[in-house]
Structure 1
Amino acid sequence: MKVSLEHFFANRFTDADNEIPEVVQYFKPLKVAKDELLLESGMVCHSLYFIVSGSLKTSFIDAKGQETIRHVAFENQFLSSLHSFIKQTASTEFIYAIEASELQFISYNDFQKLISETTLFRDFYIKMLETTYLNNHWRIETFLRLSAKERYEYLLTHKKEMVQRLSNKNLASYLGITQESLSRIKAKK
């Protein structure tokens, strides 16, 4: 299902409708293929992506080639290697397209320009940071307090789209378990 950036801002920031055209003009379209690499570890992240259709993931890959997915984003969501993007330093993670995706992206320089010039984008930035904090807090808490089975059950109840759209490989990586462990958990359902 395709969504628009204009619709995203209009639904969340109703008091800044007049700034929406100004903001969206800084975003550029980008189509990426399934499994396409958008950011490699060691590179500086210069873009913030809005997902029109498809999905993206941020992940860490260790020296043995083992991937751990930090975050997954679907339509109507933003994704970036935020630490690298904000600080303009080398990223420690990768960004990949999980599915063929249509994106809108903004450069770091344009992002900073809009923060300094528009109320809409300043408000958006605050909301983005709040959402990122809440997502990261949830990830840490569930890894510390819940078993792998409980994390999977939580996704089934609260984030069913992840279970439906992610491959077993990606879902296991997101849950921090092996594919075999995920298969055992699913078999017991």
Structure 2
Amino acid sequence: MGTGSLTRPSAADLAAARDKTIPDLIGPGLRVLFCGINPGLWSGATGYHFARPGNRFWPALHRSGFTPRQLLPDEQRELLGLGLGITNVAARTTAKADELTAEELRAGGRALVERVERYRPRVLAVLGIGAYRTAFGRPRTTIGPQSESIGDTEVWVLPNPSGLNAHYTPDSLASEFRALREALDRPSV
């Protein structure tokens, strides 16, 4: 079980975290590989995905039924036992995703395809419509399941869970995550 709270990184810790990378939480046979845009400075400083207070990934994951309780960032390894993993389109940490260049996102999209082909999750869920549009050259993409797949892996686009994404409330964010979970739970035809 997690510690209940991460030690708050200092301003120096956050500055030192810029341009770092953190390891993917990934393995073969996942039900869903969640893919953030890139790690934030809190993640770079702590080594945990979606670590910044106010990020709504962990609450959305629980409220949508993917996890039996709300996990804390330092409990991220528990996701693997639930068939869930985490990666990012771009590996380097930034204060905001808009610090990434379009070329970084396109290169990240190509590397992401290679990871998906290697690990073959059932679903790749990209968390951020703008990043998906740029990384995969799909300017008209909408939230939800995509018509394109990567091999046998279905692709979904979900809203970015960052607290900076004011377009989605915690309830509407959880609802979009729930739509994916319910699609996974339906028997295949």
TM-score, structure 2 length as denominator?
0.26
User: Which structure: greater strand fraction?
Assistant: 1
